[in-house]
Amino acid sequence: MQWEFQEDAAFLALCDAFKESGESSAIEFLAHGEGAFHFQELTQNAAGEGVDLSDSDSLDDFQQEVIDTMEALCS
């Protein structure tokens, strides 16, 4: 299932928080504090949309896609 997470409220909040943080690295931002909170919310929303993130490879792929998207759209 393909899910357009870029339109999800949790991703939009994550993007806004990343912009406001002044952090230049999305991976560093996701590693702690507010970034980790918003990413967890985004993964919960993904599960609600039927995205299976139950294995570590799927979760890693999803996280990398989020990081790439953040660096492209939220910088």
Higher pLDDT, 45 or 2: 45
CA angle 41/45/47 to nearest 5° reads: 120
Prediction pTM value: 0.90
CA–CA dist 12, 66 (Å, integer) = 11
Convert the pLDDT of each residue in 15-52 to its tens digit.
999 999 999 899 999 998 899 999 999 999 999 999 99
CB atoms within 10 A of CB 35: 20
